[in-house]
Amino acid sequence: MVQSDNICTMFEFDLEKNEFDLAEVEALGLRLAEAAVKGTVIALSGDLGAGKTTLSKAIAKGLGISEAVTSPTFTIINEYSSGRLPFYHFDVYRLDGLSSGLDEMAELGFDDYFYGNGLCVVEWAELIGSSIPDDAVWINLLHTDDPDKRKVVLGKAEVI
Ligand SMILES: Nc1ncnc2c1ncn2[C@@H]1O[C@H](COP(=O)(O)OP(=O)(O)O)[C@@H](O)[C@H]1O
Ligand SMILES: [Mg+2]
């Protein structure tokens, strides 16, 4: 199981500069995919346009997914099976603010994915923080003054 600590160690040097251009975010995605094992959950937080889907696509590429990866904003979960591991790509934004949100999650059987045989990447993970497994790798993407660069912060949003 890849742990946040290992990921922190892997990226410590790179993350110190905290100004990632698109190519660097994509390279991070490829390395995360290499490190992933079944049951790895990568929890992404960050505002609209921060690069969550961009990073997710790079992770999918790193797994060798051959299908086109599209944002699951309206479907909540997209599943891809053509890579080294099953890839489950979530965007839980739509669940926020729904009184039925938690019920809907239970119906979707999130835990079957989170504790399953694949790699899960969850966009807007902070909205369902209590459902995310404790050993998930949290990555926060932040806008910077430069529209082409992002700050990348590891760790759960509320403990930063
Ligand atoms: N350094 C960067 N990292 C990630 N995305 C970037 C970067 N610079 C520019 N972008 C652009 O920002 C946009 C991010 O959109 P997206 O990945 O859909 O964000 P989100 O899923 O967080 O809403 C994309 O158009 C992407 O090309
Ligand atoms: Mg997105």
Can you list the domains of the chain with their CATH numbers? 4-154 (3.40.50.300)
Residue with tokens 């890579």: 83
How high is the pLDDT of residue 107? 65
| Contact yes or no for 7/41 (Cβ under 8 A) | no
For the whole model, what pTM was predicted?
Answer: 0.90
From residue 66, alpha-carbon distances to 57, 80, 92 in Å are 11, 9, 24
With a Cβ cut-off of 6 Å, ligand 1 is lined by 20-22, 25, 46, 48-54, 123, 148-150
**Closest approach atom of ligand 1 to CA 148:** 8
User: Mind listing the pLDDT tens digit for each residue in 106-131?
Assistant: 667 889 999 999 999 999 999 888 88
Mean pLDDT taken over the chain: 86
| Polymer length in residues for the chain | 160
CA of 48 to the centre of ligand 2 (A): 7
111 has which bridge partners? Answer: none
d(CA 58, CA 48): 18
Percent of all residues in the chain with a pLDDT value above 90, rounded to a whole number = 66
67 pLDDT higher than 90: yes
Backbone angles phi, psi at 37, to 5 degrees: -130, 175
CA of 87 to the centre of ligand 2 (A): 16
Closest CA to 132 of 155, 98, 151, 153: 155
3 pLDDT higher than 90: no
User: Mind listing the pLDDT tens digit for each residue in 14-40?
Assistant: 566 678 999 999 999 999 999 999 999
The H-assigned helical ranges of the chain are 4-17, 22-35, 52-63, 101-108, 110-114
| Contact yes or no for 5/98 (Cβ under 8 A) | no
Residue nearest to atom 18 of ligand 1 (CA): 53
CA of 21 to the centre of ligand 1 (A): 10
- According to DSSP, residue 51 is labeled S
